[in-house]
Amino acid sequence: MTGCLMLAAVNFHTLLFYLFALLACGFAVGVVVADNVVRMALYLVLSLGATAGLFFLAGAEFIGAMQLMIYVGGTLVLLVFGVMLTAQAPFVTIKTSPGDRVLAGVVAASLLALLLQAAFSVEAWRRPGLGEVAQPAATPIGVALVGVRVDEPPAGTPPGVRSGYLLPFEIVSIHLLVVLVGAAYLARAKRRRTQRAIDVAASVQSLVEPVVEVPRQARGSASALATGGTR
C-alpha cells in the first residue's frame, strides 16, 4: 500500500538514471581495478550495457539500441574473442607496478577534477530537465542518413538548408569495408614464423619462468608456438 504510494511519488526518470549511472560507473571502475583480463571484459560489457540504458533515458532510444547491437553485441564480442585468443596463462593477469598506478591515479584525478569543473561551469547545463520522452528519434535519424532532414530545427538556428548525413554515411560505409579488408589482411594466416618470433618465444620462456610459474600446458603451448606451426 504505502509502497504503491511511494512508488507513485518516486520520479522514476531520476531513479532509473541514478541506477544506470551507478552501474555504468561502477563497472567502469571495475574494469580499471580488475586484474584478470577476462573479468575486465565482462565488466566492460556490463558497463556499456548500462550506458545504453542511459541513452534510452535521454531520449536517444535509437542510439541506445544501436549501442546494444553494435557496440556491445559486436565490438565487445570481438574484444572477447581477442581475449580468448590471447588469454594464455602468462598474459591473463599482468600486473603493473604500483608506482605507475599511483601516478596514473593522480593524473586521472586531476583530469576528472577538470572535467567535473567544466561540467558544472555552464549555468544552462544545470537546469533540471523535463523528465519525459516525447518524440521517437529513429525516423528522423534514418531519413537524415539518406540526406533528408525532417526534424524541427532547434530554436535560434539560422534559416537555411540543413544538410543531411548522406555523405558521412557513405564514407563510413566505405570505411567499414576498408577496415574489413584491412583487418582480414592483417590477421591472415602467415606461412612461416619470423625469426624474431622464435627468439622472442625463446626469451619469453627464459624470462617468464623465474617470474611466473608457468603451467605445463602453457609451456607446451609456448613451445608449440616456438616450434612453429600455422594457426
Partner 1 sequence: MSGMLGIGVAIAGPVFAAADGVSVAHYLVVGAILFTAGIVCMAVKRNALGVLMGIELVLNGANVNFIAFASPYLRGQGAVSLGIDGQVIALFVILLAAAEAAVALAITLNFYNNHSTVDVDRADDLKG
Partner 2 sequence: MDIAAQLPMLLGLAWLAPLASFVAILFFGPRMGSHGRNAAWVATAAIVTSLVLSLFAAGTWLGAHPVQAVHHGDGHHGESHAAEPAGHGGHSTGHGEAQVPVAYAGDWYTLYQAGGLKLSIGWYVDALTVLMFVVVTFIATCIHVYASGYMHDELHDVTDHEVHLSGGGHLHRPGRFPRFFQALSLFCFSMLGIVIAGNLAMVFIFWELVGICSWFLIGFYYERTSASTAANKAFIVNRVGDFGMLIGLMALWGALGTLHFADTPADAAGAARPGLFSLVRPAAEGHALRVPDGMVKFAAAAEVAKTPMAEVAGKIDGWRSMGLGRWLLFVAGVGIFCGCVGKSAQFPLFVWLPDAMEGPTPVSALVHSATMVAAGVYLVGRFYPVLTPDVLLVIAYVGAITLFIAATIALVANDIKRVLAYSTVSQLGYMMLALGVGGWSAGLFHLVTHAFFKSLLFLCSGSVIHACHTNDMRKMGGLARIMPWTAGTMLVGCLAIIGAGVPFVIGLSGYYSKDAILAQALSFAQANPSHSILYAAVAGGAFLTAFYMFRLWFMTFAGAPRDHHVADHAHESPAVMVAPLVVLSVLAVAAGWTLPGGFGLANLLEQSRPAGTAEGMTGGFAFGSLVFPAEHLSHEGAIHVTATLTAFTTALAGVVLAALMYLVNIISPAVVATVFKPVYAFLAGRWYFDELYHALFVVPVLGIAKLASGTDRGVIDRFIDGVAWTARQLAGIDAWIDRTLVDGLVNATATATWNAGLELKKLQTGHLRQYVMFIVVGTVALFVIASLLFRTTIAG
Residue ranges that bind partner 2, judged by CB under 8 A: 96, 100, 103-104, 107-108, 110-111, 114, 118, 121-122, 124-125
- For the bound state, the minimum distance from the C-beta of residue 52 to partner 2, rounded and expressed in Å, comes to 26
CA 136 to chain centre: 25
Residue 25: contacted member of partner 1, partner 2, none (CB under 5 to 8 Å, by partner type): partner 1
Q: Give the angle subtended at the CA of 66 by the CAs of 144 and 13, to the nearest 5°.
A: 100
- For the bound state, the minimum distance from the C-beta of residue 3 to partner 1, rounded and expressed in Å, comes to 4
| Comparison of 23 and 28: residue with beta carbon closer to partner 2 | 28
| Comparison of 180 and 209: residue with beta carbon closer to partner 1 | 180
- For the bound state, the minimum distance from the C-beta of residue 43 to partner 2, rounded and expressed in Å, comes to 20
Nearest 10 degrees: Cα torsion 192, 195, 197, 198? 100
Segment 204-212 long-range contacts (CB within 8 Å, at least 24 positions apart): 204/90, 208/90, 212/89, 212/90
Residue 1: contacted member of partner 2, partner 1, none (CB under 5 to 8 Å, by partner type): none
Residue 23: contacted member of partner 2, partner 1, none (CB under 5 to 8 Å, by partner type): none
Residue 68: contacted member of partner 1, partner 2, none (CB under 5 to 8 Å, by partner type): none
End-to-end CA distance of the chain: 64
How far apart, in whole angstroms, are the C-alpha atoms of residue 174 and residue 168?
10
How far apart, in whole angstroms, are the C-alpha atoms of residue 222 and residue 204?
9
